[in-house]
Structure 1
Amino acid sequence: MLVSNPKSRKIAYPADLRAILNIEAASESRAWLANWPLINRASTPLWNLADAAAQFGIARLCVKDESVRSPLGSFKALGAPIALARLVMRHWHAHDIDPKRLFEGHYARLLANLTVISATDGNHGKALAAAARSFGCECVIVLHANVSEEREQAIAAYGARIVRIAGNYDESVDHAAKLAQSNGWHVVSDTSYEGYETMPRDVMQGYGVIAAEIVEQQDAPFTHVFLQGGVGGLAAGVASYLWERHGEARPRFIVVEPVQADCLYRSAIEGKAAKSTGSVDSVMAGLACGEASPLAWRVLERCIDDFVLIEDSDAVDAMKALAQGVGHDVPIVAGESGAAGFAGLAVSMRDRRLARSLGLDGNARVLVINTEGATAPSVYAQLAGESAADVSKRQRDWLKRGVQ
């Protein structure tokens, strides 16, 4: 299903949005993250999938692979630590905090009494827990009923205290806010709500690092960029950077969401940040969000051109296709949410009318982002039909053949 956004415009990046997200803040975030041991220094790969592009009938298809950004396994490693760093620097401004030393853990004694909390579907919570441990503060993570035991253990491994609730993601966000208020803790969330925008903005600033690398790596600007939905943070962080960089010549931005977690799709229809109409329970755990972030929507409503819905089975098919590699393309480990952008492209190309409406033809140069690897290894193996280790081995073999 497709809905086009009547409010999107190809104009110069507006000044009011630059006050929220801008290239300067993304560059600063990138410089700070270079000091964190859990972030790889090299840019993540921008894989060229020539055979997949030929199969789809487009000029070019590239995958920005965030699965290897960090041992944490996802793009979320860019957002939570930046938000936590900015929180520390605001609250301890009199101490003239040095970001480099902060990421290296030199302020642990100063931060020993600081506790941060967040709700999560998995990846954001793991990144926040890891950042908190690096900085020397305490972390509490609220998990809803659909977060797997495997993901819980991965978060707890970074020293976070886990709180379980029986409800869904949006209810876990509410619970985290209540716990923070009653205990004097600080919420570091990637979704905004009334009276809470500073932290989600800081999280999104970190995601601009992905776009900065894309600009450096591309040999020609992309005409189309498929972005995962969720609450809208990734899409806003990447789209805002590329919009500011390219101005009126920006790419066509297409957001992809699960059918049952369609909050951004509904927002485009209703003209405001809206709630999903489905059950929200999707195999794409990172995108199983019931309510759009109002702050992210302020950016998205003016630059996302189209919203596409996919089924869980589409995401699983995309995981398998990326794992195998089409023709001679590189095999890629893409988790359930990570494969959603590729799935959105595949769904669009299966329907000629849909492809035409999106301008996807033989001249299209398309970018998708693999936002996560096998962050839940057993789930990945069950869905993809093989282990992430097997796919990674094929990728290493592919790379060796390319060098020869």
Structure 2
Amino acid sequence: MFLLNQHPDYRKPLDPIDAETLGPKAVDEVERYLTYRDNHTVTPLHALPAIAAELGVGAIHLKDESFRLGLGSFKALGGSYAVIRLVLEEASHQFGRPVDIAELHTSEVRAIAAGMTVACATDGNHGRSVAHGAQLVGARAAIFVHSGVSNERVAAIARFGAQMVRVEGTYDDSVAEAARVAAENGWTVVSDTSWPGYERIPGLVMQGYTAMVREALRQLPEPPTHVFVQAGVGGVAAAVAGHLALVLGERRPTFVVVDPARAACLFETARAGHPVKIEHGEPTVMAMLECYEPSPIAWRVLSRAADAFMTVDEGDAVAMMNRLARPAGNDPAIVAGESGGVGLAGLIRSAADPKIRAALHLDEASRVFVINTEGATDPDRYAELVGIPPDAVLANSACRTEGVHA
């Protein structure tokens, strides 16, 4: 399914709060925080000339977030950043003066962090980031996971010392339960989705993602003409679209939001013109995108900054995992998890459909940017779907190419 943005606010300036959250000054602060992370390195940007030639576009560049901060996902930028910000804000409140990140590991700040518990719901990656952030600052974390989250992903979060809470039902059920229990216990919810009266912390999470966009703009030989980004509740899509709109203005690229067909809450929201909660149906293989209600602040940004919305099917996601693992021509081998290559899958589906191709003005001059949002965050599931373990794909990639492609 494909839909051009028809919202009345389309192409209007971002809400002032969102512009402040996603703008250049905010990214300056995110990047400053990242300099204090021991394992922070810029993630690679890969050119995919073989796929570009096949699709009849000028260039495709893929930002590979599978290497981000050792957590295997772009989510490492959001949850942990928000946790650090919240601890420093609490310390500032208690000390009666501004407390900078340079003081994060002092005994006084860690004593404050030790009295804090952060909580969130997750499909896997956001919870890992929040738990990691809590471990970094010495806070406690309670992470709520729904019944569809694999044991492997639960274990990956628990290794950061988080208390794990299983919730029957969907991701949205786990969001509600995390909020309820946190309110009862006086914990701080660090969610990547928002709801009425709860926007600032999800805004901080989105703010963390903007560092990835700035990195990509520095790495790209030219700004992109088209961007395809996958969406769950919409946080990363909104962060990317919003930042690009703010820094590129009239030169901003055509932006396409890509949903799983089985969890197309943003597509249905765009069709309705307002946030829509869709019915839970058969689970999608795109586990990190299995969300049935969009984040209101993400929709507020996307209603203005996204040009189109579309869906891809189960087979598209699995085929993309395999295609990136076994590349043609000089393309590098890339480990993309079940949700990682969904934006690229959206591009491939769009390029193959003459009507969508024409609507998006995709042609041989197009420069397309996509994001591999996650690596093999569940290695056993990856090996099951691709037929080879992720380590073997990485070994193949090392043989085929070295360094960053641009």
TM-score range, shorter chain: over 0.9
The alignment status of 1:362 with 2:361, answered yes or no, reads: no
User: In the TM superposition, what are the counterparts of 1:132-143 in structure 2 within 5 Å?
Assistant: 132-143=134-145
The alignment status of 1:84 with 2:83, answered yes or no, reads: yes
Q: Which residue of 2 aligns with 1:387?
A: 389
Match of 1:353 among 352, 355, 358: 355
Cα deviation for residue 357 of structure 1 reads 1.8
Q: Between 213-222 and 113-122, report the one with greater CA deviation.
A: 213-222
Q: Which residue of 1 aligns with 2:31?
A: 30
* Post-superposition CA distance 1:263-297 (Å, at most 9, x none): 11011111112123452621111100010000111
Q: Which residue of 2 aligns with 1:337?
A: 339
* Post-superposition CA distance 1:249-269 (Å, at most 9, x none): 100000111001111101111
The alignment status of 1:260 with 2:259, answered yes or no, reads: no
| Contact 2:80–2:131, Cα closer than 8 Å, also in 1 | no
* Post-superposition CA distance 1:46-100 (Å, at most 9, x none): 1111111001110000101101112110000100111112212222214332213
* Post-superposition CA distance 1:88-132 (Å, at most 9, x none): 222221433221342788732221111110000000001111110
RMSD over equivalenced CA pairs, Å: 1.9
* Post-superposition CA distance 1:211-234 (Å, at most 9, x none): 101111111111100011110100
Q: Between 98-107 and 135-144, report the one with greater CA deviation.
A: 98-107
Match of 1:239 among 232, 238, 241: 241
SS in 2 for 1:110: helix
Cα deviation for residue 400 of structure 1 reads 4.8
Q: Which residue of 1 aligns with 2:316?
A: 314
Q: Which residue of 1 aligns with 2:330?
A: 328
| Contact 1:280–1:288, Cα closer than 8 Å, also in 2 | no
SS in 2 for 1:289: coil
Q: Between 47-56 and 270-279, report the one with greater CA deviation.
A: 270-279
Cα deviation for residue 17 of structure 1 reads 3.3
Q: Which residue of 2 aligns with 1:2?
A: 2
| Contact 1:10–1:247, Cα closer than 8 Å, also in 2 | no
* Post-superposition CA distance 1:188-226 (Å, at most 9, x none): 000001211111000000000011011111111111000
Question: In 2, distance between residues paired with 1:400 and 1:109?
Answer: 44
Match of 2:114 among 87, 112, 120: 112
The alignment status of 1:271 with 2:273, answered yes or no, reads: yes
Q: Mind listing any 5+ residue stretches in structure 1 that lack a counterpart? A: none
Question: In 2, distance between residues paired with 1:314 and 1:295?
Answer: 28
Number of equivalences = 401
Question: In 1, distance between residues paired with 2:403 and 2:132?
Answer: 36
The verdict on how the C-alpha distance between 1:184 and 1:401 changes in structure 2, with shifts beyond 3 A counting, is closer
| Contact 1:150–1:376, Cα closer than 8 Å, also in 2 | yes
- The one-letter code sitting in structure 1 at the alignment partner of 2:68 is R
Question: In 1, distance between residues paired with 2:183 and 2:161?
Answer: 22
Question: In 1, distance between residues paired with 2:91 and 2:188?
Answer: 14
- The one-letter code sitting in structure 1 at the alignment partner of 2:32 is A
| Contact 2:62–2:371, Cα closer than 8 Å, also in 1 | yes
Question: In 2, distance between residues paired with 1:77 and 1:305?
Answer: 27
Question: In 2, distance between residues paired with 1:166 and 1:367?
Answer: 37
Q: Mind listing any 5+ residue stretches in structure 2 that lack a counterpart? A: none
Q: Which residue of 1 aligns with 2:45?
A: 46
- The one-letter code sitting in structure 2 at the alignment partner of 1:86 is R
Match of 1:282 among 276, 281, 284: 284
| Contact 1:77–1:124, Cα closer than 8 Å, also in 2 | yes
Match of 1:200 among 194, 199, 202: 202
Cα deviation for residue 402 of structure 1 reads 10
Q: Which residue of 1 aligns with 2:178?
A: 176
Question: In 2, distance between residues paired with 1:402 and 1:291?
Answer: 36
Q: Between 206-215 and 347-356, report the one with greater CA deviation.
A: 347-356
| Contact 1:104–1:135, Cα closer than 8 Å, also in 2 | no
Question: In 2, distance between residues paired with 1:6 and 1:387?
Answer: 43
Cα deviation for residue 302 of structure 1 reads 0.5
Question: In 1, distance between residues paired with 2:191 and 2:40?
Answer: 23
Question: In 1, distance between residues paired with 2:317 and 2:103?
Answer: 41
User: In the TM superposition, what are the counterparts of 1:143-158 in structure 2 within 5 Å?
Assistant: 143-158=145-160
Question: In 2, distance between residues paired with 1:86 and 1:327?
Answer: 44
Q: Which residue of 2 aligns with 1:21?
A: 22
Cα deviation for residue 27 of structure 1 reads 1.7
SS in 2 for 1:203: helix
- The one-letter code sitting in structure 2 at the alignment partner of 1:3 is L
SS in 1 for 2:255: strand
The verdict on how the C-alpha distance between 1:103 and 1:371 changes in structure 2, with shifts beyond 3 A counting, is farther
| Contact 1:222–1:367, Cα closer than 8 Å, also in 2 | yes
Q: Between 156-165 and 25-34, report the one with greater CA deviation.
A: 25-34
User: In the TM superposition, what are the counterparts of 1:114-129 in structure 2 within 5 Å?
Assistant: 114-129=116-131
The verdict on how the C-alpha distance between 1:67 and 1:106 changes in structure 2, with shifts beyond 3 A counting, is farther
| Contact 1:36–1:104, Cα closer than 8 Å, also in 2 | no
- The one-letter code sitting in structure 1 at the alignment partner of 2:57 is I
- The one-letter code sitting in structure 1 at the alignment partner of 2:52 is A
Structure 1 segments, 4+ long, off by >3 Å, are 8-17, 103-106, 400-403
**Aligned-residue identity in percent:** 43
* Post-superposition CA distance 1:329-366 (Å, at most 9, x none): 11111111111011111111222222222211111110
